[in-house]
Amino acid sequence: MPIVVKAGPNDNTNDVIKEFKKEASNTNIVERTRNRRYFIKPSQIRAQKKTEMRRLKKRARSLKNQKNVTEASLQRIHERLSNQ
């Protein structure tokens, strides 16, 4: 899906470029192309996910023991754990 930004009659070049960058960042095109720049073996992807899960679980346990932690921050970590 191409990104199309139409310039209005009173728009200058900088405004159009700014709008294009905003649209490109919203669609994550740059992030996806960076991720696809090099081939990553499926086993490496699984290993990365496993280490991230381990790190998040450890973080959740340590935050649970602390006193000044909001319930919302723990909820966000648990959401990330359940999404993967």
Longest dimension (CA), the chain: 59
Mean pLDDT on 19-33: 88
Mean pLDDT of all residues belonging to the chain = 88
Q: Return the pLDDT at 49.
A: 92
pLDDT of residue 43: 97
Domain residue extents for the chain? 1-38, 40-84
In terms of Cβ atoms closer than 10 Å to its own Cβ (0-12, 13-18, 19+), residue 80 is middle
Rounded to 5°, angle at Cα 30 from 27 and 34: 135
- How far, in Å, CA of 35 to CA of 30, rounded? 9
Confidence of residue 17 (pLDDT cuts 50, 70, 90): very high
Please state the pTM of the whole predicted model.
0.55
